[in-house]
Chains A and B, each alone.
Chain A
Amino acid sequence: MIEKIAGLYNYWIVIFLMMTGFYIVISRDNLIKKILGLNIFQTSVFLLYISIGKVRGGTAPILVEGVSTYSNPLPSVLILTAIVVGVATTSLALALVVRIKEAYGTIEDVEIYAEEDAQ
């Protein structure tokens, strides 16, 4: 049982990171902190995919003579594009935050709601 749980260590790390990001998103008012939390959450998903693709005794999926065991190439493909898409969408969110700051003078969501209600 202990060995079984130790062999699942990647999931524990992923769940810890995922929940850290989730906690930041739901407990903070500051919009930039929420985006940082989403980023941590996103990284945990990346690590989940990559760690699932690992094969014991395997090597990186670049074919060479004399090697027969390779790790799964598919998670690498999915995640390396997702990382670049992720930075593009994150920057879109940050641009929205910059505009929100200009429109409302604050980036705390409680204050934004208060201002909305006042109008």
Chain B
Amino acid sequence: MGIYSLLSASWMLLLDAPDVAFTEAAVGAGVSTVLILVTLFLTSPVDKDSGRKRLLPLLVVVITGAALAYGTLDMPEVGDPNAPNVIYVAPRYLEQSPSEIGIPNVVTSVLASYRGYDTLGETAVILTAGIGVILLLARTRRKDGPVARDPPRSENRLSLLRVVTGVLLPYILLLALYVQFHGDYGPGGGFQAGVIFAAAFILYSLVFGYPSARRVVPSGSLRFLMALGLLLYIGVGVWALLEGGEFLNYSALDPHHPSHGQHLGIFLIELGVGITVAATITAIFFSFARRTQP
């Protein structure tokens, strides 16, 4: 699964979407693979699938696939410069964003400014999903549940891993900070940085064990940060309202220099997104990891 994600990330990079490739590499190759493995550990690694009912699904899939394939014959080719999606709204963003927003990365300007409502909603969805996971897994485990199998690990085997992790962690955190604050100019932003941050904590927890990771990041502060990020985002929107603009119209933040206001607004909401994403993904992982503890 990790390899699959890495491959799709590479293809996305070839298709000129470095921001997305970044996200997919961090999420797919890191976070979701770990979460699936933890769930397998908590439930049962054995698949009791019987061999029946294979033919009908196969038939359905082949027919659906054939219909879809027939539909693609009317679609524009890859890279067609006259494809409807390329000539409709994209030129507006590419031509106007330098004067309206003033940052080179158009993906960031569309994400944070033109489509700020959308991104706000998505951040709220992430927070809600995180709250859901915490609530679902908060109850203490039933006594007859699966007993955590903690294999007697030899300290020598792990010590090399610990040294390497110790060396790598500062660089991962530094990369996350770079991705967070350089998102205006290069590929990056709050979503990617948040996931990289969370991946660093997950790595720490995997190598040094859940109890010591818990000491580094107490759950109270994680929950506080999850909400703080979204509040920061909404707060910027309300600030723009109070300055006389529309909700999330950052130009109102600095009436004399609208592009300064845009810079400030994008910086703050990306920070909010980064905080919420990092705290939520870490909290989700910790909720699962706590269940593996005896």
Contacts and interface: CB of A to CB of B under 8 A. Distances in A.
Interface of A: 4-5, 7-12, 15-16, 18-19, 22-23, 26-30, 32-33, 35-36, 39-40, 43, 46-47, 50-64, 69-77, 79-92, 94-99, 101-102, 106-108, 111
Interface in B22-56: 22-24, 27-28, 31-32, 35-36, 39-40, 42-44, 47-50, 53-54
B279 to A, nearest CB: 12
B27 A56 contact: no
Interface in B107-131: 107, 110-111, 115, 118-119, 122, 125-126, 129-130
Contacts of B242: none
A33 B46 CA distance: 11
Nearest to A88: B129
A18 B61 CA distance: 9
Contacts of A107: 43-44
A22 to B, nearest CB: 6
B129 A60 contact: no
A61 B16 contact: yes
A62 B182 CA distance: 12
B-side interface size class = 35 or more
Contacts of B94: 61, 63, 70, 73
B187 A62 contact: yes
Q: Which 9 A-B pairs have the closest CB atoms?
A: A56-B79, A7-B77, A88-B129, A71-B16, A27-B57, A11-B72, A101-B43, A73-B106, A95-B136
Contact of A88 (B60, B106, B185, B281): B281
A1 B24 CA distance: 34
B77 A8 contact: yes
Given A9-B78, A30-B49, A97-B39, A81 B16 contact: no
B85 A88 contact: no
Interface in B130-170: 130, 132-133, 136-137, 141-142, 145-146
B145 to A, nearest CB: 5
A5 B78 CA distance: 11
A102 B107 CA distance: 43
Interface string B45-88: 00111100110011011101100110011010111110101100
A88 B126 contact: yes
Contacts of B80: 55-56
A94 B90 CA distance: 37
Contact of A81 (B81, B97, B118, B291): B118
10 contacts: A15-B69, A27-B58, A58-B79, A62-B18, A70-B16, A77-B110, A94-B35, A98-B136, A98-B288, A108-B48
Contacts of B27: 83-84, 86-87
Given A91-B284, A94-B35, A95-B288, 13 more contacts: A19-B61, A22-B61, A36-B1, A43-B4, A56-B78, A62-B106, A63-B106, A84-B27, A84-B122, A84-B191, A88-B280, A91-B129, A92-B132
A12 B44 CA distance: 35
B12 A94 contact: no
Contacts of B98: 63
Given A15-B65, A50-B15, A52-B85, A73 B104 contact: no
